[in-house]
């Protein structure tokens, strides 16, 4: 069975601080996919990034960066120079593919509420 753990329930930072959201996962699959989604106060789930299990390269997109380490089963998310608009709930999730090439169900962590104060 797959499991995703986001130990940080809530994080509060002051604008311009850097913040890292932790994600630890468990799976028996050798090929899997990791995701981060953002849920702003408006409620929708916004896709941020997908990472394949066979690609451990870290990724940077603007102020966002992701650190994937298979050795520790972690997929952490860092926001540099945080802004008030980054305030949201962030979810880490795990999935794999079924034989037809479709994505299997996502297993979500419990989410981390990030509040960025002005």
Partner 1 sequence: EAGVTQFPSHSVIEKGQTVTLRCDPISGHDNLYWYRRVMGKEIKFLLHFVKESKQDESGMPNNRFLAERTGGTYSTLKVQPAELEDSGVYFCASSPQGTSGNKETQYFGPGTRLLVL
95 binds partner 1 (CB under 8 A): yes
Of 1-40, which residues contact partner 1 (CB under 8 A)?
33, 35, 37
104 binds partner 1 (CB under 8 A): yes
Measured from the CB atom, is 76 or 95 closer to partner 1? 95
How many residues bind partner 1 (CB under 8 A)? The answer is 27
The residue within the footprint of partner 1, chosen from 8, 15, 45, 64 (CB under 8 A), is 45
- Residue at token pair 């305030």: 87
CB of 43 to partner 1, least distance (A): 5
| Long-range contacts, 107-112 (Cβ 8 Å, 24+) | 107/2, 107/3, 107/4, 108/4, 109/4, 109/5, 109/6, 109/23, 110/5, 110/6, 110/9, 111/6, 111/39, 112/6, 112/8, 112/9, 112/10, 112/11, 112/21, 112/22
Residues at the site binding partner 1, with contacts judged by CB under 8 A: 33, 35, 37, 42-47, 50, 52, 91, 95, 97-98, 100-111
């Amino acid at each position: 069975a797959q499991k995703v753990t986001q130990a940080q329930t809530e994080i509060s930072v002051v604008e311009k601080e850097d913040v890292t959201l932790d994600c630890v996962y468990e799976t028996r699959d050798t090929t899997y996919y990791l995701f981060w989604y953002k849920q702003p106060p408006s409620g929708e789930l916004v896709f941020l990034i997908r990472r394949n299990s066979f690609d451990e390269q870290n990724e940077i997109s603007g102020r966002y960066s992701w650190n994937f380490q298979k050795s520790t089963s972690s997929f952490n998310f860092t926001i540099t120079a945080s802004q008030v608009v980054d305030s949201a709930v962030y979810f880490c999730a795990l999935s794999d593919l079924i034989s037809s090439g479709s994505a299997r169900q996502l297993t979500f962590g419990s989410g981390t509420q990030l509040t960025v104060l002005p």
